[in-house]
Structures are given as structure tokens and as C-alpha cells.
């Protein structure tokens, strides 16, 4: 921020932006008195921030105005939240206090501003020595406000969205930190609170900066497709419009295209190309249920579905009934994918006006309907989740970093529905086992479980449940929890019960864990000395700095040693010196802290290519400096990298690829799909090896019914070589798609 006199142009921009906010607020405020509070808050904040500019050079007051506009337009909050958004930086950045806000605007607005100020104070604290897990503590503070007023979290989400919108003005190291935090916590939080617009915009901004080439390419393809398909979509909608009108429905139809991030995410997770995404387009039907109809709101959704599927053929495996079984963020809708008369697949989303309000505005709309007396059978899901989070937050045994992981996992998990032997339906997280189900019923049933029957068939307790399973737990009176259960339990409740039981045997667990660690270290030629144990505690994020805690976690089975050798990094120095690609590294705070690391000149620093994402020269990358001086290089879009940056932003360094004198090769995987024909495997391998002179490490293709699918692991020099190879392979007869995928 900087201080300077405002120009006439600055005052005009401020007036224009506030006029837009005031118009949006006018529609949300119940009366003139509420609008007057918004006006008063603007005038106070405008005066407090007078002459102050942001990094971009624009007047600072434009930021709180923008946050307030998101609060009212995207989230649907009322005048107190709008006022708090306008005032949210005043206490932190000026001489005014919370008491000043309270005297002028009352207790509730002051309380909201105070909550936001406390979050900001922790977030902006640069004294990392005082608090190693400062980012985790920040997120804990954010979530703790759920105990007081969820509106603080919602305003904070609006603040984060606007910071993302203006992220181009931040230095790259800080940009990486903010975007990683956003993906790790804020985007899942927006999703869980039902804020679809906020979530989608943050996802697209994340992709634009993490994978800029991919974002631009997908955006261009979307724009081309829209112009090509516009008339076809209109032709598709026309008979639906006519049929629903004839049936007497009061409705509107909206057109929608998948966002660039959702397309990219589907391409990456499904190993497909842009052209293979068949639900690129969606048509949303929003209708007002007839109060005089004998059909319920849910039945009227099914009625609309029957009309549409009477016109178009639908894909039976693409029906998503979130009317009967809403998502755990309260989302309700009926989705189906149908084939247009012109031959393109189109997703149709069917919602009532209430369902649409909740889908667009999330928790704010949910509470508004609840306040107005609308009590549907699905209304309690969001309230249940908030209550569950509150229980986690007050658990004294959970430190900030553990909390961050717990909340992240909870935010990103999805639920399935299973049945008891008597046919009662129960919700449980996807991936849960039969033993998780046992503990969800009662602690003693879980503690005494020995096996389960799923759909009348005997299965082990580790069996992963699927939607629709009927589950019966078999118990034995003398059974008790076992360490090995922690290897497959998925739900926090079940794991905590077992861990609490095992804590009573702590010393025995420490002894077992010490033996396991020492044996694993011995197998790679290392001893459990202080340096090695410190490296392990760093790598496994054990901030108690007590080896017994490391041994205990290993002993009871919650910490596996699969990547112990990678963490200890023995042997990396010798292996990495043979690489010819090196980096310029910049610390990123200021020039005094900048430094260059050159492994060829043996400055004592080593870099490691992360095996989770295997970046190659040309990829957008981010680095993390470990306590032993080793720097691990990840792709910017790597989920592991996002998790590290969200918790340890002070470790971020910014790399640049620079070519060395000797060419080296980097391992990548290409996933292939196509039509099988005689000799195609020989043609592919011959082209890669002989024509492109690329070394193949592994080649697997499986064929079934005339179609092949598989992958090739090979070595390339850089991204340019890889893209050239992909283009050439796509020209081979029979190949339908070639995409880079995870190893």
C-alpha cells in the first residue's frame, strides 16, 4: 500500500463502483434504514482509507467496495454483512478501534469486523519464527468463527475472491502461496457452504495462473464451440420450452457451458481430451412449483424429467438424483444427459426456484428459507456439517496442522448411502469401510466387530462400502480394537476411537515404532541419529519435535514409512549432480534475501524432481526449501504442492528452467486410447524409438472388443519434445487420444 493524493479520476471511479454496490444493496435491504447503515459504513471507510492505494495503484477503498458487492450479489447476505465488508480493513489498517466501530454501528457489525480483523492479523504476520504453523493457525481462526457467526467466514471468502481477482499485482512467491491456500481450503469451503459462483471463479483464477497455457487453450476451444453450437442449443431448447408451457409450468431456461477449470479437471482425472467431454453444454430449467398441485416439489421435478425424456433419448448412467439424495452441501437438483436431434450430448439440470437459490447463494439462501418457515427433509445437512466442524474445533487433542488436514479431507470428501439390516438408510463418507460403518452406529459395535455381511455375503472389516450396500456387522464379546485397523479406517470418528484405545498402550506402541523406524533406516544404511530424526519429523510434519511422538505414530499405524528414503534423501546428491537441467531460485521477499542455487557449482544445495507429479522443463513449477537445504520441485498444479504451500508458505521458492550443457531426460507417462488393428503396437513403439529417438521405459496396452487402452512411460528432454511426440502419435491410424497423465 502507498499514500498519495487522489485525482479527480480516482474519485469518479470510487463514486461509480459505490453506485453499483448501492444499487445491489437496495434490492437486498428491507427498508431505507438498513440502506442508510450501508451508506454510513461506506462514508466512514472511504474517509478512513482516503489517499491510500493498493499494489495495483488503485484507491484502496475499491477493495472493500468490491468485497461488499460479492457479499450481496454472489452470497446474498444482508445490510450488516455489507457494512462489515466495507469496514473489514479499517481496524487493521487505520487508527480506528473495534470500540469505535461498536459505538458507530452497534455490537453485531463490530463483532463481524473484529472477527475479520483477527483473521487478517494472523494472515499478514510475517514473523514466522514465532509460529511455525502460522498458516494452519490462520485457518483455524477462520473456522473458529463458525462458533460465533458464519457470516465472518462468508465475508472472508468474498475477501479472498477479490484478492484472487487482483492477484496479478502480487510477487510470484506470494501468488503461489495465496493460490495454494485458496485451492486447499477456501475453494472446498466455498463448495461445502454451497457458494457455486464463488467456488467456480476461484477455480478458474487458480488454473489461469497455475497452468496459463492450458487455461488459454481451453478457453479458446470453449469460445469456438459456443459460436459453432449456439443455433443447435437453441433448437434443442425449443421443444422443451413448448412442452413445459403446454403442461402449465411456470419456468425459465438458462444455457450454461462448463468452466475452464471443470473441463481441465475432468481431462486430468479421466485422462481424456477436450473433444471427449460430451457434457460440455448444460441447460438449466428453473420452475416455480405449483402450490395447488397434488404433486410434491420433488414429484414435480420428476414430472419435468419425464417430459424432457419423452422428447430426447437419455443416457441412463448419467442420471444424478440430488433431489432424493442431496449433496452434503445442501445442493438439490435432478440432472440427466440427453442426446439432441443434431447429435450432441447436453446435460439438463432441473431445479425449483428454492433449489436454485440454494445452489447459487448456498448457506445464506438455506437460512433465509428456514427463517421463512420452509422446512424440507434435506434442510438439516448443512447444519449438521457446521455442528460437526464445531466439535472438531474444540477438540483439545487436535493441533492446528492436524485440524487443517482434517478439515481439508472433510471438505473434499463425498458421501454415499448404505442400509442397515432393517432397511434404515445411513449416510457415510465415500471410501468408508465396513468397520467405519460399525463405529458410526455405536462405539461398542465397532470395538467388538470381527467381520461384516454386505448384501448377505461375508466380507472383511476392511471392505470398502458402495452406495446401496446393505451392511450387517458381526461382533464377538472378547474382541478389542487392533493397531492394524488404522491401516484401513477412513472416518475421523472411527480412527479417533481406536487411537484413544491404543493410547493406553503408548509405551508399547513407542517401542514397536522405534524398532520399525530403526529397521527401515538400517535398510538404507542410515542410523536413527539426531540429524536423521529431525529430517523425519520435518518430513512427516511432527512439530512436537519429540522422537517418541514419531515412534508412537509409527507404532500404532497412523504413520507409514513408505517414503522414508525420499524424506531422508540419502543418495540424492550423487544422483542429482548428473542432471543437466538447473534452476535460478529466487526467495521472493526482497533482493536482500535473494539467492541463486546452482547444483553444478556444488553450492551445497540439491534439487529433487518430485515423484508425485514429475515436472519436466517447460512446465510451470514451484519449489520448496527443506531444512537440510534440499529443494523439491513440483508442477504448480500438483495437489501435493498445493497442500505444502497452504501449510508452509514460508518454504516457497520460485524456479526457472535453464538448460545445461549436457542433455538429460525426464520421465513422463502418456495414456493412449484407440481402435485395435494388426500391427498398431509395433507401429507406435517403432515410431517412438526409431523416428523420435525416445527411450521407452514401460509400455502397456490392453485390448478388448476391438478397442485398446493403456500407457507408455518414456523419457523426454522437455515439454516441447513431449508436445511434438503427442502430435505425431495422434496422426497414427486408429489412435483416438494421447494425453499426458500421472505416473
DSSP state of 563: T
CA trace torsion 103, 104, 106, 110 (10° rounding): -90
Which strands, in side-by-side order, build the sheet including 449-454? 457-459, 449-454, 471-475
Question: Are the CB atoms for 202 and 187 separated by under 8 Å?
Answer: yes
425-429 and 449-454 as β-strands: parallel, antiparallel, unpaired? Answer: unpaired
Catalytic residue among 93, 549, 566, 676: 93
Contacts of 435 (CB under 8 A, 6+ apart): 446, 449, 452, 461, 462, 485, 488, 489, 494
Phi, psi of 635 (to 5 degrees): -65, 145
CA trace torsion 580, 584, 587, 589 (10° rounding): -160
The whole-angstrom separation of Cα 204 and Cα 639 is 16
Q: What is the three-class DSSP state of 601?
A: helix
The helix or strand, by DSSP H or E, that contains position 631, with its residue range, turns out to be: strand 630-635
- Catalytic residue list contains 93: yes
How would you label 628-652 residue by residue, b for 16+ Cβ within 10 Å and e otherwise?
bebbbbbbbbbeebbbbbbbbbbbb
Q: What is the three-class DSSP state of 453?
A: strand
Q: What is the three-class DSSP state of 224?
A: helix
Output the DSSP codes for 89-103. THHHHSS--HHHHHH
Three-class DSSP labels, 465-521: CCCCCEEEEEECCCCCCCHHHHHCCCCHHHHHHHHHHHHCCHHHHHHHHHHHHHHHH
Q: Which of 67, 69, 121, 115 is nearest to 93 (CA)?
A: 121
Q: How many helices (H) and strands (E) does the chain have?
A: 30, 22
Question: Are the CB atoms for 330 and 378 separated by under 8 Å?
Answer: yes
How would you label 416-447 residue by residue, b for 16+ Cβ within 10 Å and e otherwise?
bebeeeeeeeeebbeebbbbbbbbbeeeeebb
Q: What is the CA radius of gyration of the chain?
A: 28
If phi > 0 it is left, if psi is from -120 to 50 it is alpha, else beta; for residue 277 that is: beta
Side-chain-side CA neighbours of residue 707 (13 Å): 5
Assigned C-alpha cell, 709:
487402452
CB burial of residue 23 (10 Å; 0-12, 13-18, 19+):
exposed
Catalytic residue among 92, 100, 402, 415: 92
Question: Are the CB atoms for 52 and 1 separated by under 8 Å?
Answer: yes
Q: How far is CA 664 from CA 77, 571, 716, 721, in A?
A: 56, 19, 8, 12
- Catalytic residue list contains 168: no
The whole-angstrom separation of Cα 51 and Cα 69 is 22
Question: Are the CB atoms for 726 and 624 separated by under 8 Å?
Answer: no
- Active-site amino acid positions: 92-93
Amino acid at each position: 500500500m502507498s499514500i498519495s493524493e487522489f485525482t479527480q479520476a480516482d474519485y469518479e471511479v470510487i463514486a461509480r463502483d459505490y453506485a453499483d454496490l448501492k444499487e445491489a444493496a437496495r434490492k437486498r435491504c428491507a427498508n431505507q434504514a438498513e440502506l442508510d447503515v450501508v451508506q454510513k459504513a461506506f462514508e466512514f471507510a472511504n474517509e478512513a482509507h482516503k489517499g491510500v492505494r493498493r499494489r495495483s495503484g488503485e484507491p484502496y477503498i475499491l477493495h472493500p467496495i468490491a468485497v461488499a458487492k460479492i457479499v450481496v450479489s454472489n452470497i446474498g447476505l444482508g445490510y450488516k454483512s455489507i457494512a462489515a465488508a466495507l469496514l473489514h480493513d479499517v481496524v487493521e489498517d487505520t487508527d480506528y478501534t473495534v470500540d469505535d466501530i461498536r459505538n458507530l454501528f452497534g455490537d453485531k457489525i463490530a463483532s463481524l469486523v473484529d472477527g475479520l480483523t483477527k483473521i487478517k492479523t494472523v494472515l499478514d504476520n510475517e514473523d514466522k519464527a514465532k509460529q511455525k504453523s502460522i498458516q494452519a493457525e490462520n485457518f483455524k481462526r477462520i473456522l473458529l468463527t463458525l462458533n460465533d457467526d458464519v457470516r465472518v467466514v462468508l465475508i472472508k471468502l468474498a475477501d479472498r475472491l477479490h484478492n484472487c481477482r487482483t492477484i496479478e499485482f502480487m510477487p510470484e512467491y506470494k501468488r503461489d502461496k495465496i493460490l495454494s491456500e485458496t485451492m486447499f481450503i477456501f475453494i472446498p469451503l466455498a463448495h461445502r457452504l454451497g457458494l457455486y459462483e464463488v467456488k467456480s471463479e476461484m477455480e478458474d483464477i487458480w488454473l489461469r495462473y497455475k497452468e496459463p497455457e492450458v487455461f488459454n487453450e481451453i478457453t479458446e476451444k470453449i469460445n469456438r464451440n459456443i459460436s459453432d453450437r449456439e443455433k443447435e442449443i437453441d433448437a434443442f431448447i425449443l421443444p422443451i420450452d413448448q412442452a413445459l408451457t403446454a403442461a402449465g409450468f411456470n419456468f425459465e431456461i438458462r444455457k450454461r457451458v462448463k468452466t475452464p477449470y471443470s473441463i481441465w479437471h475432468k481431462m486430468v482425472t479421466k485422462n481424456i481430451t477436450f473433444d471427449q467431454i460430451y457434457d460440455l453444454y448444460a441447460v438449466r430449467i428453473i420452475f416455480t412449483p405449483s402450490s395447488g398441485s397434488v404433486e410434491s416439489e420433488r414429484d414435480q421435478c420428476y414430472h419435468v424429467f419425464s417430459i424432457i425424456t419423452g422428447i430426447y433419448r437419455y443416457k441412463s448412467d448419467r442420471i444424478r438424483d440430488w433431489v432424493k439424495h442431496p449433496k452434503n452441501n445442501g445442493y438439490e437438483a435432478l440432472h440427466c444427459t440427453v442426446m439432441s436431434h443434431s447429435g450432441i450430448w447436453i446435460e439438463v439440470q432441473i431445479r425449483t426456484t428454492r433449489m436454485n437459490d440454494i445452489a447459487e447463494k448456498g448457506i445464506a439462501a438455506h437460512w433465509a428459507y428456514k427463517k421463512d418457515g420452509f422446512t424440507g427433509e434435506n434442510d438439516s445437512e448443512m447444519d449438521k456439517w457446521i455442528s460437526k466442524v464445531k466439535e472438531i474445533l474444540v477438540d483439545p487433542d487436535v493441533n492446528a496442522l492436524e485440524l487443517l488436514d482434517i478439515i481439508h479431507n472433510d471438505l473434499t470428501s463425498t458421501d454415499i448411502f448404505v442400509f442397515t439390516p432393517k432397511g434404515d438408510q445411513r449416510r457415510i463418507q465415500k471410501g468408508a469401510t465396513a468397520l467405519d460403518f460399525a463405529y458410526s452406529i455405536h462405539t461398542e459395535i465397532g470395538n467388538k466387530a470381527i467381520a461384516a455381511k454386505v448384501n448377505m455375503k461375508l466380507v472383511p472389516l476392511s471392505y470398502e462400502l458402495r452406495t446401496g450396500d446393505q451392511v450387517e456387522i458381526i461382533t464377538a464379546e472378547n474382541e478389542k480394537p487392533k493397531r492394524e485397523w488404522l491401516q484401513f479406517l477412513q472416518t475421523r470418528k472411527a480412527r479417533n476411537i481406536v487411537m484413544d484405545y491404543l493410547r493406553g498402550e503408548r509405551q508399547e506402541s513407542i517401542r514397536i515404532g522405534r524398532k520399525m523406524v530403526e529397521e527401515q533406516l538400517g535398510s538404507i544404511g542410515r542410523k536413527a541419529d539426531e540429524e536423521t530424526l529431525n529430517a523425519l519429523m520435518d518430513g512427516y510434519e511432527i512439530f512436537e519435535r519429540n522422537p517418541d511422538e514419531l515412534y508412537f505414530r509409527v507404532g500404532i499405524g497412523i504413520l507409514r514409512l513408505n517414503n522414508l528414503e525420499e524424506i531422508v534423501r540419502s543418495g540424492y546428491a550423487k544422483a542429482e549432480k548428473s542432471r543437466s537441467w538447473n534452476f535460478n531460485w529466487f526467495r521472493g521477499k526482497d533482493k536482500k534475501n535473494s539467492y541463486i542455487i546452482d547444483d553444478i557449482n556444488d553450492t551445497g544445495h540439491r534439487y529433487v524432481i518430485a515423484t508425485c507429479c514429475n515436472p519436466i522443463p517447460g512446465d510451470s513449477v514451484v519449489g520448496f526449501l527443506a531444512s537440510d537445504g534440499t529443494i523439491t520441485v513440483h508442477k504448480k498444479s500438483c495437489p501435493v504442492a498445493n497442500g505444502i504451500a497452504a501449510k508452509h508458505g514460508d518454504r516457497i521458492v520460485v524456479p526457472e528452467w535453464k538448460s545445461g550443457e549436457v542433455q538429460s531426460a525426464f520421465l513422463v507417462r502418456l495414456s493412449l486410447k484407440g481402435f485395435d488393428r494388426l500391427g498398431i503396437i509395433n507401429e507406435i513403439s517403432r515410431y517412438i524409438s526409431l523416428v523420435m529417438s525416445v527411450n521407452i521405459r514401460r509400455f502397456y496396452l490392453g485390448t478388448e472388443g476391438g478397442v485398446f487402452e493403456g500407457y507408455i512411460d518414456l523419457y523426454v528432454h522437455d515439454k516441447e519434445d513431449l508436445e511434438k511426440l503427442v502430435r505425431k502419435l495422434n496422426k497414427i491410424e486408429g489412435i483416438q487420444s494421447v494425453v499426458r497423465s500421472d505416473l
